[in-house]
Amino acid sequence: MNAYKELIELYKDIMVWKGIASIIHWDFETYMPSDATSQRAVQIATLQELVHEKITNPRIGILLDECLQDDMSTGGNESLVKRNLHLVKREYDRATKLPSGLVAKIAKQSTIAVAKWKVAKKKGNFSMFKPELEENLKLIKEKAKYLNPGKDPYDVLLDLYEPGVTAASISSVFKPLRSGLMKLVKRYRKNANDAAYQFLSREVPMAQQREIAHRLMEFLGYNLKRGRLDETEHPFTVGMYKDVRICTHYHLNNFMSSVYTVLHEAGHALYEQNIPERLWWLPAGTSCSTGIHESQSRFVENIMGRSIVFWEHFLPIVKSITGNTFSDVDVDEMARAVNRVTPSKIRIEADEVTYSLHVILRFELENDLIHGDIDMDELPTVWNEKMDHYLGVTVEHDSEGVLQDTHWASGLFGYFPDYALGNVYDGMFLENLEADEPQWRESVASGNGEIVTSWLASNIHEKANLHDPLDLVEEVTGKDINALPFLQYLDSKMDTIHGI
């Protein structure tokens, strides 16, 4: 057991330094003086190098071998000890299997690729970016081979973000999801320029938007003694345990952007705040996966935040803060506006029904690219064809098509599917929330948002990283992952709101 204790102390040290690095990054995005960029870059790089050295410390490998070979006395915590050892070994293996030269190549190439992507996107010309994307793809496939030479390369990459899933398991969920969503798009599609929705662009002063944001956090039970709300160009959440910080952005003529950003980011933040203290600084005292994290943010943002009952409670609050700005808008009009189905060319502008179709398209394309089933020259054309088929929109230039996201330029192959998996998980979690708390809608309408966030805390947050994602879903719901609950939720909500 002494080897285990030493191993856990070493891992705690790693987590502490990761936490320091995250707060340094938060400062970089928020309050750092503008002329300090180059100095901060050195600091961040030094911290990253330090964390990498600690993760790859040979002593960790020695201690892991001792722990895995010994018949330890676990004091009744056998499952927790085994999980911690599994998580440390997984991270150690990933860090040590990659040659330092390849890690450096990938880091350098990603920097070059992102810079070239920015220029290509501005000019709407994929051919300018193509050589860098080809090099990224080559290096990422090489990375997958080092990590697990006997496994399908795309499965290796998927496992980095959503442990335990494979391209085959995702496809078995995404195929019926794609079919069902395409039917819903046809049924509920609305005109994006409909005059009934124009009130959303009315001017709301920044001071009022800040007050709305703080009322949202109170409603959700976000603990401001263990967090902050700040402003930045690109919203994000950072931190853990007693220090979890949210950043949002306010738009004068689009106050709804900050409403749903705060709801989304608060969903992420509550997950981190609610990890139980008994697991702090342990490998299992982290979030489960990217997809589960997305499910928590999207549950708060969409399933609760776009519900009629949410607006029954929150529209009067908005009116009390904004005066006469929305005095002529009722709850039904607001619910229809925030749940309109308007196919877009841009993923981050997509509505709740169409969003997962954007993700499925990217999953299919990166899977094909990695396996050589499409040539890089074909990528823009195939992208545009799928956009037309799935969403009925015509992509006119590469900036609003294949060049819109930074993920592939940054080398993040295998990341996209988690956005849609989060939605699928939510459909399943919703069924259990309704069984456990059948009056949750009435409670939300009366101002009790914590009936939802407390359920999420008890069933997901407090389980932290004790399970891989598919095992967690099965433990919470008793079922294997499937898309039907999410499709049924969308159809029922849209039918109620739009009356079609």
Helices (H) and strands (E) in the chain, counts: 20, 3
What pairs with residue 240 in β-bridges?
243
φ, ψ (nearest 5 deg) of residue 453: -65, -30
SS (HEC) of 115-147: HHHHHHHHHCCHHHHHHHHHHHHHHHHHHHHHH
Letter for the amino acid at 346?
Answer: I
CA–CA gap between residue 232 and residue 247 (Å, rounded) = 6
| Partner residues linked to 243 by β-bridges | 240
The rounded distance, in Å, linking the Cα atoms of 398 and 173 is 29
Of 123, 122, 127, 158, nearest to 379 (Cα)?
127
Separation CA 179–CA 188 (nearest Å): 15
Please pick, among 132, 162, 265, 352, the residue that the annotation labels catalytic.
265
Q: Is 375 exposed, middle or buried (0-12, 13-18, 19+ CB in 10 A)?
A: exposed
Task: Yes or no: say if 270 and 301 are a contact pair by the CB < 8 Å rule.
Answer: no
* Phi, then psi, of 344 in degrees rounded to 5: -125, 155
Q: Rounded to an integer, what distance in angstroms lies between the CA atom of residue 162 and that of residue 47?
A: 26
Torsion of CA 302, 230, 209, 249, to 10 degrees: -70
Q: How far is CA 383 from the centre of its chain?
A: 23
CB 477, CB 432: distance < 8 Å? yes
Phi-psi region of 353 (alpha: psi -120 to 50; beta: other; left: phi over 0): alpha
Give me the amino acid identity at 251.
H
Give the closest residue to 178 by CA, choosing from 403, 412, 391, 336.
391
Q: What does the angle CA 160 – CA 46 – CA 4 come to, to the nearest 5 degrees?
A: 55
How many Å separate Cα 421 from the centre of its chain? 10
Distance separating alpha carbons of residues 353 and 361, to the nearest angstrom: 14
Examine the residue annotation and report whether 142 is marked as an active-site residue of this protein: no
Contact in structure between 460 and 474 (CB atoms under 8 Å): no
Helix (H) or strand (E) run with residue 220 in it: helix 206-220
Strand, helix or coil for residue 248 = strand
**Collapsed DSSP state (helix, strand, coil) of residue 70:** coil
What's the CA gap between 229 and 237, in Å, rounded?
A: 9
Question: 3-class DSSP state for residue 231?
Answer: strand
| Catalytic machinery residues | 265
